[in-house]
Amino acid sequence: MSAALLPLFAIILLGAVAARTGYVPAQTIAPISAFVVRIALPALIFGAVTSAPLGEAINPGFLSGYAAASLAVLTAGIAAGRLVFGLPVAQAAVLGLGMANSNSGFMGYPIALTLIGGAAAPMLAQCMIVENILIIPLAMILIDTGGRGAGAGRVMAILAVALRSPIIVAVVAGLVVSASGLGLPSAVADAVAMLSRIAAPIALFVVGATVATAPLGGMAGPLAAVAAGKLVLHPIAVFAALSLMPGVDPTTLAGGVVFAAVPMLSIFPLLAQRAGMGVVAASALLATTLLSFATLSVAVLPMIAPLLGR
């Protein structure tokens, strides 16, 4: 099954080489990334949610299991930062965020699509609900306040930003359309489908371009902990949690493990910068991206192969 990952990582490598050599100017990566986040991925999620019956668009067992596992890993990362490395709460929260929040749109979806097909799109929507409404807001509250307690206004402001994200808007809009029972006009459906098809390859290219210039340095211990937590602990936790949930079939379980097993979100260094951990976060992003081919091929794919009947 590792052969299925080669084209995906080839696109990542292409993005890295293009950015590193200047063939694609560095200043153009941000607009390309914005197109993926604001247009292509929302179209993909909207199309996935509207194309499935309302009861199938959201799987309560998957959603709650993925949320519980991610929250447990976030907590474990914060505890490791505090107790093992003696970091302040804000910096410990950066470790937890790096371990518990996947790059679901840019890496998880393309890999899951290759392995489990169309079932990956509704799972992407649910993973991003967990990430954007639960994990990122909780971590940012701790990063911004240092664990001293955030006022209601600050908490509401963070949640408001999360709820306004294009991904969440696409999920809500898709659920509304699905609940209405009205199909999309053919022209709209075709446009959404076209945008959906280009989301995965462009996202992978952006991942490569993003990590191409990431520094490799900083605190070795926390960096190694983030990489291990993201690539090993998170998929194990998701596998355990989803195995206990009703209504989670083997394909869904396998897909959840894949989404959890990819590196952290590409804006992780920007979020970590607010706690003075930008270099460590960028190094962790680079290291986990490079290591993920090995961990996915050697550990994760053999683990889920029986679930997929392979």
What's the pLDDT band for 14 if we cut at 50, 70, 90? very high
CB atoms within 10 A of CB 244: 10
CB 49 within 8 A of CB 122: yes
Greater model confidence, 47 or 67:
67
Distance CA 100, CA 127 (A): 11
Range of lowest pLDDT (40-44, 134-138, 212-216, 230-234):
212-216
- Is residue 234 a contact partner of residue 291, using CB atoms and an 8 Å limit? no
Structure confidence at residue 218 as a pLDDT band (50, 70, 90): low
Question: Which is higher by pLDDT, 124 or 301?
Answer: 124
Residues 184-211 have a mean pLDDT of 87
Rounded to 5°, angle at Cα 118 from 117 and 121: 115
Distance CA 273, CA 286 (A): 16
Domains defined for the chain, CATH in brackets:
2-304 (1.20.1530.20)
For residue 30, how far is the Cα from the chain centroid?
18
Report yes or no: 275 and 89 within 8 Å, Cβ to Cβ: no
Mean pLDDT computed over every residue of the chain: 86
Looking at residue 217, what is its pLDDT?
64
103: tokens are 């790059």
What does DSSP assign to residue 102?
A: B
Could you give the count of Cα atoms lying within 13 Å of 216 in the half-sphere of its Cβ?
Answer: 9
Cβ atoms within 10 Å of 108's Cβ, excluding its own: 27
- Among 39-48, 123-132, 297-306, the range scoring the smallest mean pLDDT is 297-306
pLDDT in tens, 248-274: 999 999 999 999 999 998 888 878 888
98, pLDDT greater than 90? yes
Distance CA 309, CA 283 (A): 37
Number of other CB atoms surrounding residue 63 within 10 Å: 17
**Average pLDDT rounded to a whole number, residues 119-148:** 85
Nearest to 275 by CA among 148, 89, 102: 89
